[in-house]
Structure 1
Amino acid sequence: MNIILADRADMLLPMILKHTDWEIGVLIVQDEEKKEKYKENAKIKAIFTLNDITNQARYTNFSYEEIKKFKRLQAIGDAGTRRMFNDYQFSRYMFYASMAFFNNIFSSQQFDACVITEPVHGFASDYILFEYAELHHVPVYNLATHGFGNFCLNRDLENGGLVSLSDNPLFTKERFYETAHYTEQKKAPKNDIGLKNYVKKWVLHIGGMALLRTVFCLIHRNRFMTINFFPYTLEEYYFSWYKIWSIRRYVRKLYSRYDADCPYLIYFLHFEPEASITNYAETLDSQLVIIEMISQCLPEGWTLYVKEHPDTYKLNTERFDFFVPTYSVFQSKYFFRKMDSLKNVSIIDYKTPATEVIRHAKAVASICGTVLMEAILEKKPVLTFANPHKYILSQLRDVFSIQSFSDLAFALDAIQKDFEPNYDDLYDVYKRYLLPINEDGLLKALSVIVEELKGNCNGN
């Protein structure tokens, strides 16, 4: 069995090496450190980092006919790459270089399976690898994280999407409760000690990452900084913040008063750029179009409230600072101006408590995300615009999985007629698809892949 494995997080590779006799014809890892770690392993024939994909691209088999096969993926790859790197030319180069790289890989050897862990960042390398494997009729499996410490196993869409687990003792009632209520989980504070960490914490408390980066540049007498491996000057960083501030000031002027007593549907905006949109909304990833569709289908007298994601206002923290240079690529004044001009659409203050908005809503809509689980726990009608072959909540009987305007019209008609969801299959659905991110869960996923591939070999 010869496989191609993209395991940037080193999730599944140790299990494969320990529990299978597979040969790994090609291994893709995050960086040189991981490459060095596994270079002497006899089961691994070739190892490449993400940088190697672009730096070692050879265009010997490149043709316009080949490009046409993948052109539809360019928008997905562009959005995913520019989520991290605000560089148009780099995004385009990454797309074509990834094509050339995997073209040569699949032309030089045959694979029995392709396995990818956490392909949610939307990089061209993920999607191009998917496409080349399917083009060569190679079974594709991927492990995608879902919620609080869990993941689901997916096949390529041609072979069924989400993998149903007939026997899953790992997902207990206790784990189900943790997962369903994971928005309430709190991380234990880090016990950082030392003068350097104390000063850093103090600076972050006063002025966030913007002040920390400024202090760093002043101390080192250097105008340059690195964000996502790309160099930026302090002036460019400040200009990015100016654009963010300008958009936020404009949006605040559009806020409408939230009225809990009027009949309304709430749409929760995703934080863009967000990985889940590139992964779960492969077909329709424009939130503006989704909101306009709902507006055109909304029952008479109803309002569509739109609420921003609170993480949008956390860019000055360590966790979200790397989005500062790319934020204005995905958000704009036009985005909100157009939204505000739509019939019966009102943007409400992002500080409005989500629990209150959900509790009084007629229905809750979004592509995917934690708010839909919160709505399910409140027994509210839920509309998801995610890819139903990948998204777990789309498998619930009483969730409206929207794939067309007629689906949306049907859902809103049912909701207007006081449709009451039950969601009594929630535990069964979670147990059928979710595994914990630990050794037992990963080993279970690997055993499922092994058995399916054995079945494929026996069938042939």
Structure 2
Amino acid sequence: MKKNIILLDRDGNMLEYILKHTTHHLVVLVCEMHEKVTSLCKEYNERIGHVIDYERLLDIQHVESIDYQIIAKMKYAQIDIETMLHRIMLDNPLAKDIYHQHLSFFIEIFRNNQIDLMISAEANLTSPNHHIPFSLCTFLGIPCYSMEGYHYHAIALLNHNSPQQFSCIPYTPSTTCAKAEEIIFYKLETSITPEKKNLKRLIKDLVSKCGGEMLSQFCVCLSKLNFQQDRLGITYSYWDKLYYFWKYKQLKRFYQKHSIHPNLQEKYIYYSVHFEPEAAIIGKTLLESQITIIKMLSKALPKGWKLYVKEHPHQFILNNEIMHYFINNLAFFKNTNFYREIMKLENVTMVSLDISSKDLMQNAQAVATLGGTISLESAFYNVPAILFNPLPTVYAHLEHTLHVQSYEDLKEVIQKIQDFPLKDQKINIDKINSYLADPRDSNFYRNLFKTIEDHSKTIKPTGETL
């Protein structure tokens, strides 16, 4: 049956499947305009309504559908999107304008078209061209789904229509199953591997080896005599980024100076600090303040227990080809005041980066997190995981996870942990395998759409209108 779809797909693989194996009409396509996507858009032009370039936020200029009532109902989305936009700029008036331009555009799309389905080939990145259509779909009761990736080896399909029951939807059986064990203790990729190396690439690799991506970008800017750069269509100065790089180096030195090697024989809970700024926090949880979470844990600890806090290992390895854009405006999201607040708490210790997270986990009474992969890694060691994200994740299907939605919940969870019998039993992490699919499987997209089509029939419109 032909459906009207909003599709968010930057690499073009899902786009290719839909155009070649279904008759669906794409009312809006959000994509990156590389060769594959451009070719598909040209070939199937009659089945695509509006094309939005993900990398050009300022292309959307639309005020004709501004509506104060909808603005009021969407305020929660506005806060998340403006926070995300601060990753690339600290221009608050422009961030607000970008939000409202996209809101007006999508209001018109929803008013003038019957939208049957929305699908994202990746997680909700909280960008305006992701978060606004997601929010409008859940508001109206239109089936909407995103694919949550786990280090290129596994994909979980998430249903956004019930945000308080952010449940994973099992895939139909495929010939190749993703394994939970493949997504723990993963190796981070920090460079792009070209198909073949030419002289330009060899020079870039040499420069990057000497001074990382910041030196590589400096050389490019110098060669062009232009130090203006671009991120998602927003212009910024290399010199501004260099300033935040200096602040980033200061942040690392401060943490190294004030973190210690703790006593792993004490009773403690291990809080694994989340990387910031990252979509795992922005727009993905109700309580986004990690300082608040740490203070809650500190106050709820039993007498004699400690809270060991360790920074995310990726926070201080940003000067590379893959992660350098996180340096932009970094101090807005995490600065020395973050650590100073932690240091005020008597029963809290900042742990040296030299201490293995595996050692911290194995000896902890529990780990605490918003819901990162440490939730699964702790299960590997039979250690309880306190999750401060009330929205269930794929990890919630394991019996060691304990969700917290209030301070009273936290006190009850910690009381439970004192007698938690997990150390005496083996947690079967393979229980979540049925929720994971391998994107390399030849049947991946066929199984994906079968699952989506079956589940979308259970979603009922809310009765709301725009």
Tell me if both proteins adopt one fold, taking TM over 0.5 as the criterion. yes
Instruction: Give the aligned partner of residue 149 of structure 1.
Output: 153
Instruction: Give the aligned partner of residue 426 of structure 1.
Output: 429
CA distance in 2, matches of 1:62, 1:189: 41
Q: Does 1:348 align with 2:351?
A: yes
Instruction: Give the aligned partner of residue 67 of structure 1.
Output: 71
Instruction: Give the aligned partner of residue 165 of structure 1.
Output: 170
**Which residues of 2 match residues 248-259 of structure 1 at below 5 A?**
248-259=252-263
- Gaps of at least 5 residues in structure 2 are 461-466
Alpha-carbon contact 2:376-2:429 (below 8 Å) kept: no
CA distance in 1, matches of 2:284, 2:249: 29
Alpha-carbon contact 1:305-1:347 (below 8 Å) kept: yes
How many angstroms does 1:196 deviate by? 2.8
Instruction: Give the aligned partner of residue 360 of structure 1.
Output: 363
For the aligned residue pairs, the C-alpha RMSD in angstroms reads 2.8
Deviations 1:82-111 (A, max 9, x none): 234444333222211111011111111111
Alpha-carbon contact 2:8-2:31 (below 8 Å) kept: yes
Q: How does the TM-score come out when normalised to structure 2?
A: 0.88
Q: Does 1:224 align with 2:225?
A: no
Q: Secondary structure at the match of 2:123?
A: coil
Which residue type is aligned with residue 23 of structure 2?
D
Q: Secondary structure at the match of 1:277?
A: coil
Instruction: Give the aligned partner of residue 20 of structure 1.
Output: 22
How many angstroms does 1:49 deviate by? 2.5
Select between 337-346 and 368-377 the one with higher mean Cα deviation. Answer: 368-377
Alpha-carbon contact 1:170-1:435 (below 8 Å) kept: no
Q: Secondary structure at the match of 1:151?
A: strand
CA distance in 2, matches of 1:45, 1:297: 54
Q: Secondary structure at the match of 1:60?
A: coil
CA distance in 2, matches of 1:423, 1:146: 23
Q: Secondary structure at the match of 1:183?
A: coil
Instruction: Give the aligned partner of residue 260 of structure 1.
Output: 264
Q: Secondary structure at the match of 2:30?
A: strand
> Taking structure 1 as reference, are residues 452 and 188 closer, same or farther at Cα in structure 2, changes over 3 Å only?
same
Instruction: Give the aligned partner of residue 464 of structure 2.
Output: none
> Taking structure 1 as reference, are residues 383 and 163 closer, same or farther at Cα in structure 2, changes over 3 Å only?
closer
Instruction: Give the aligned partner of residue 4 of structure 1.
Output: 6
Alpha-carbon contact 2:124-2:131 (below 8 Å) kept: no
Alpha-carbon contact 1:364-1:382 (below 8 Å) kept: yes
Q: Secondary structure at the match of 1:368?
A: coil
> Taking structure 1 as reference, are residues 435 and 46 closer, same or farther at Cα in structure 2, changes over 3 Å only?
same
Select between 306-315 and 87-96 the one with higher mean Cα deviation. Answer: 87-96
**Which residues of 2 match residues 383-398 of structure 1 at below 5 A?**
383-389=386-392, 391-398=393-400
Alpha-carbon contact 1:228-1:322 (below 8 Å) kept: no
CA distance in 2, matches of 1:47, 1:314: 35
Bigger relative contact order, structure 1 or 2 (CA pairs below 8 A, ≥6 apart): 2
Deviations 1:290-326 (A, max 9, x none): 1111111111111101101111111221122111222
1:374 aligns with one of 372, 377, 381: 377
Alpha-carbon contact 1:224-1:231 (below 8 Å) kept: yes
CA distance in 2, matches of 1:103, 1:114: 15
Instruction: Give the aligned partner of residue 124 of structure 2.
Output: 120
CA distance in 1, matches of 2:104, 2:188: 44
> Taking structure 1 as reference, are residues 291 and 51 closer, same or farther at Cα in structure 2, changes over 3 Å only?
same
Alpha-carbon contact 2:137-2:143 (below 8 Å) kept: yes
> Taking structure 1 as reference, are residues 456 and 100 closer, same or farther at Cα in structure 2, changes over 3 Å only?
closer
Select between 350-359 and 225-234 the one with higher mean Cα deviation. Answer: 225-234
Deviations 1:173-210 (A, max 9, x none): xx426525452698999475343333322222222122
CA distance in 2, matches of 1:52, 1:226: 10
CA distance in 1, matches of 2:104, 2:62: 6
CA distance in 1, matches of 2:343, 2:231: 33
How many angstroms does 1:346 deviate by? 1.1
Instruction: Give the aligned partner of residue 83 of structure 2.
Output: 79
Count of aligned positions: 452
Deviations 1:105-164 (A, max 9, x none): 111111121222213322122121012122333111222213442111122233853343
Alpha-carbon contact 1:298-1:412 (below 8 Å) kept: yes
Q: How does the TM-score come out when normalised to structure 1?
A: 0.89
How many angstroms does 1:349 deviate by? 1.3
Select between 267-276 and 247-256 the one with higher mean Cα deviation. Answer: 247-256
Q: Does 1:106 align with 2:102?
A: no
Instruction: Give the aligned partner of residue 200 of structure 1.
Output: 204
Deviations 1:351-374 (A, max 9, x none): 221112112211111112232222
Select between 24-33 and 258-267 the one with higher mean Cα deviation. Answer: 24-33
CA distance in 2, matches of 1:215, 1:185: 26
Select between 7-16 and 96-105 the one with higher mean Cα deviation. Answer: 7-16
Instruction: Give the aligned partner of residue 329 of structure 1.
Output: 332
1:406 aligns with one of 402, 405, 408: 408
Deviations 1:419-452 (A, max 9, x none): 3264645322221x11111342222111112233
CA distance in 1, matches of 2:85, 2:430: 35
> Taking structure 1 as reference, are residues 313 and 455 closer, same or farther at Cα in structure 2, changes over 3 Å only?
closer
State percent identity of aligned pairs: 24
> Taking structure 1 as reference, are residues 338 and 189 closer, same or farther at Cα in structure 2, changes over 3 Å only?
closer
Q: Secondary structure at the match of 1:12?
A: helix
Q: Does 1:316 align with 2:319?
A: yes
Which residue type is aligned with residue 4 of structure 2?
N
> Taking structure 1 as reference, are residues 185 and 84 closer, same or farther at Cα in structure 2, changes over 3 Å only?
closer
How many angstroms does 1:231 deviate by? 3.6
CA distance in 2, matches of 1:53, 1:194: 32
> Taking structure 1 as reference, are residues 147 and 396 closer, same or farther at Cα in structure 2, changes over 3 Å only?
farther
Q: Does 1:91 align with 2:92?
A: no
- Gaps of at least 5 residues in structure 1 are none
Alpha-carbon contact 1:364-1:381 (below 8 Å) kept: yes
How many angstroms does 1:3 deviate by? 2.0
Alpha-carbon contact 1:5-1:28 (below 8 Å) kept: yes
Q: Secondary structure at the match of 2:66?
A: coil
> Taking structure 1 as reference, are residues 51 and 357 closer, same or farther at Cα in structure 2, changes over 3 Å only?
closer
CA distance in 2, matches of 1:228, 1:141: 24
